[in-house]
Amino acid sequence: MCGIIGYVGPGKASQILTDGLKMLEYRGYDSVGIAVLKDGKLEVRKDKGMVEEVSSALAFTTMGGNVGVGHSRWATHGVVCKENAHPHTDCTKNIALVHNGVVENFSKLKSELSAAGHKFSSDTDSEVVVHLVEEYSKTQPPLKAFMRAIGRLEGSYAIALMSAADSEERLFLARRNSPLVIGVGKGEMLCASDIPAMLKYTKTFVALEEGDMAILSRHGYKVYSSDGSEVSRKQITVDWGVEMAQKGGYPHFMLKEINDQKHFISESLASDVTGARKLMDKYDRIDIIAAGTSYHAGLMLACLLQQQGRNAQAFIASDYPFITSPKEKTLVIGISQSGETADVLQALRHAPKSPKLAITNTVGSSITRLVDHTVFLNSGPEVGVAATKTFTSQLAIVYKLIYGKEKLGGLPALIEKMLASENHVKAIAQKLASKENVFFIARGRNVPIAYEASLKFKEITYIHSEAYPGGELKHGTLSLITEGVPVIALAPKDDTLQKLFGNIREAKARGGLIVSVTDDDEVRKESAMSIPIPSGLDPILYPFALIVPLQLLAYHVSVLKGINPDRPRNLAKSVTVE
Ligand code: F6R
């Protein structure tokens, strides 16, 4: 969840780290800090706050030096304050460390180190690691001391560390259950939690594997497995451009990414699903595991497979281990845009004997190493915390798996048409921005879209929102529908409309403010406000027509309320803790 970056080379480390942290801020944004080495001396600047404000208040880029580490934090241990911000240093202030993850045995290690005389300046679990390295460095050379310290850790970690006492300018890296990627430049080396932070410098990367450790110097890198032996890891190249991870003139990444959907949908539809389809045909039972938005794509896949008479079910990843015991004959499909969501990775590990398939956006991500086959979304980097373009890409892959590509040719044009409703959606957003509760209703295959629209709405507007299959309203929720409470009905003219119309009338009769997304004139007449769907659409494409304006609705309500939709409170992209 936290963002890590490291640099060693001829460039100005503080500038490269600060730029990188701006790109990584979506991983965590409660505090930020960098450490650089200059003339054998370590300098650390850090504080709570967003990258932009802290880096300018503390003048990060005035720091000299060609090697350094940086961190943007999403608090797990200890409150948000300067002391708990990374980098952390040892007692001698010679070693600096940044860490993402949770050191589960930190209290035992802390007692041991305290007894040996170490003084701690934060409440974090991370700080124990730098003191452990300090302790072992008293008797061992830097790499050995680092490896020995890493060997003591339980839990998850992505670590970058450097030492003023080291005879060379080097970074020491380690990863387990938290992402860390090496960027291979020309005469310079980088590391970061995510590829976008390094795109300006290189397109060649090495994703460290579980338990790996590594050393970076400006001349190259060496990777070691957990037993300390040197290993070789595959280099990958990506064709993402730097501009893909920039706002490109839009006020927010989220709005850019919503608009990007018209392009990336074609890239996703071009993704090769033949291997995945073969796997799906081979097994009788299919378990789909995912979290958040990806779970909604998973629900859609399960729904479409069930409509074909297949035995398929979608599970919330974090609950999967508690409610299932997958057999060898079950195909387990993990859906995760980041490929690093701890809940999803853990759920996949819960099915050791089952064949596995991943649907992800991230080349070289952890999920790809846990499965037999991967389908890539090809959506380019997604920076906004709220998933948008990767959701429609996931839907596109799901649809291609079920229907083949032939029926989906009209998707880019459909998305473009739905994007054109933005001004109209904005006017509706003005009517909703002052509400305290919002309900979304739909039926059948439109229900996963209602869940997704509701999640998007609540996470970036802070307005309480729930979604239901319309038929469920009368079984309890109707008691909450009073005068003026918005009920957003996903009401396309498909086989669900007649029944959903009944639910719309029920809600309206209780004073509900009906907002519909529809191509039906009667529904439109019953609605206080309505977003039009183009007429004559192939019914299977309705889910795409529904989600795009509802993403825009969430975005505009968020902006009207003065919230930054790219950085909703308490959340982070890529949730690497369970
Ligand atoms: C919501 C959102 C999250 C993610 C969830 C899973 O807008 O982005 O709900 O969908 O954390 O993330 P991935 O797909 O990376 O596994």
Which DSSP symbol is given to 519? S
Tokens of 198: 């390094």
450-477: b or e for each residue (b if 16 or more CB lie within 10 Å)?
Answer: bbbbbbbbbbbbebebbbbbbeebeeee
Query: Do the Cβ atoms of 384 and 565 come closer than 8 Å?
Result: yes
Pairing of strands 189-192, 204-207: unpaired
Q: Give pLDDT, residue 311.
A: 96
What is the C-alpha separation between 215 and 172, in angstroms, rounded?
5
Can you tell me which atom of ligand 1 is nearest the CA of 341? 16
What is the C-alpha separation between 212 and 231, in angstroms, rounded?
9
| pLDDT tens, residue by residue, 283-341 | 999 999 999 999 999 999 999 999 999 999 999 999 999 998 877 789 999 999 999 99
Q: Give pLDDT, residue 270.
A: 94
In the three-class reduction of DSSP (H, G, I as helix; E, B as strand; rest coil), residue 364 is classed as coil
Tokens of 461: 């507007």
From first to last of its 578 residues, what are the pLDDT tens digits of the chain?
Answer: 689 999 999 999 999 999 999 988 877 778 999 999 999 999 999 999 989 999 999 999 999 999 999 999 888 777 889 999 999 999 999 999 999 999 999 999 999 999 999 999 999 999 999 999 999 999 999 999 999 999 999 999 999 999 999 989 999 999 998 889 999 999 999 999 988 899 999 999 999 998 999 999 999 999 999 999 999 999 999 887 777 777 888 999 999 999 999 999 999 999 999 999 999 999 999 999 999 999 999 999 999 999 999 999 999 999 999 998 877 789 999 999 999 999 999 999 998 889 999 999 998 889 999 999 999 999 988 989 999 999 999 999 999 999 998 889 999 999 999 999 999 999 999 999 999 999 999 999 999 999 999 999 999 999 999 999 999 999 999 999 999 999 999 999 999 999 999 999 999 999 999 999 999 999 999 999 999 999 999 999 999 999 999 999 999 999 999 999 998 988 877 777 77
Give me the phi and psi of 210, to 5 degrees please.
-55, 130
What is the C-alpha separation between 143 and 159, in angstroms, rounded?
14
Q: Whose CA is nearest to atom 11 of ligand 1?
A: 292
Query: Do the Cβ atoms of 19 and 34 come closer than 8 Å?
Result: no
Q: Which of 335, 346, 575 for mutating ligand 1's site (highest number of atoms within 8 Å of CB)?
A: 575
Pairing of strands 189-192, 486-491: unpaired
Task: Give the global pTM.
Answer: 0.84
Calculate how far, in angstroms, residue 18's C-alpha sits from the geometric centre of ligand 1: 26
**Ligand 1 touching residue 147 (CB < 6 A):** no
The number of beta carbons lying within 10 Å of the beta carbon of residue 500 is 26
Q: Whose CA is nearest to atom 7 of ligand 1?
A: 386
Tokens of 348: 């996949």
Calculate how far, in angstroms, residue 343's C-alpha sits from the geometric centre of ligand 1: 11
In the three-class reduction of DSSP (H, G, I as helix; E, B as strand; rest coil), residue 308 is classed as coil
What is the C-alpha separation between 449 and 38, in angstroms, rounded?
53
The number of beta carbons lying within 10 Å of the beta carbon of residue 165 is 14
In the three-class reduction of DSSP (H, G, I as helix; E, B as strand; rest coil), residue 292 is classed as helix
Three-state SS sequence of 195-222: HHHHCCCCCEEEECCCCCEEEEECCEEE
Can you tell me which atom of ligand 1 is nearest the CA of 343? 16
Can you tell me which atom of ligand 1 is nearest the CA of 391? 10
| pLDDT tens, residue by residue, 383-439 | 899 999 999 999 999 999 999 988 899 999 999 999 999 999 999 999 999 999 999
Tokens of 312: 């398929």
Q: Give pLDDT, residue 30.
A: 86
What is the C-alpha separation between 384 and 248, in angstroms, rounded?
13
**Ligand 1 touching residue 366 (CB < 6 A):** no
Can you tell me which atom of ligand 1 is nearest the CA of 344? 16
Query: Do the Cβ atoms of 5 and 14 come closer than 8 Å?
Result: no
| pLDDT tens, residue by residue, 539-564 | 999 999 999 999 999 999 999 999 99
Q: Which of 27, 337, 550 for mutating ligand 1's site (highest number of atoms within 8 Å of CB)?
A: 337
Query: Do the Cβ atoms of 120 and 306 come closer than 8 Å?
Result: no
User: What are the catalytic residues?
Assistant: 2, 573
Give me the phi and psi of 217, to 5 degrees please.
-130, 175
Calculate how far, in angstroms, residue 341's C-alpha sits from the geometric centre of ligand 1: 8
**CA distance to 427, 532, 534, per residue, from 424 (Å):** 5, 10, 14
**Ligand 1 touching residue 341 (CB < 6 A):** yes
Calculate how far, in angstroms, residue 337's C-alpha sits from the geometric centre of ligand 1: 7
136-149: b or e for each residue (b if 16 or more CB lie within 10 Å)?
Answer: bbeeeebbebbbbb
Q: Which residue segments constitute the domains of the chain, with CATH numbers given?
A: 3-243 (3.60.20.10), 247-409 (3.40.50.10490), 419-564 (3.40.50.10490)
The angle formed by the CA atoms of residues 419, 502 and 427, to the nearest 5 degrees, is 30
Tokens of 165: 């006492």
Give the list of residues 6+ apart from residue 239 with CB closer than 8 angstroms, or none: 203
Can you tell me which atom of ligand 1 is nearest the CA of 388? 7
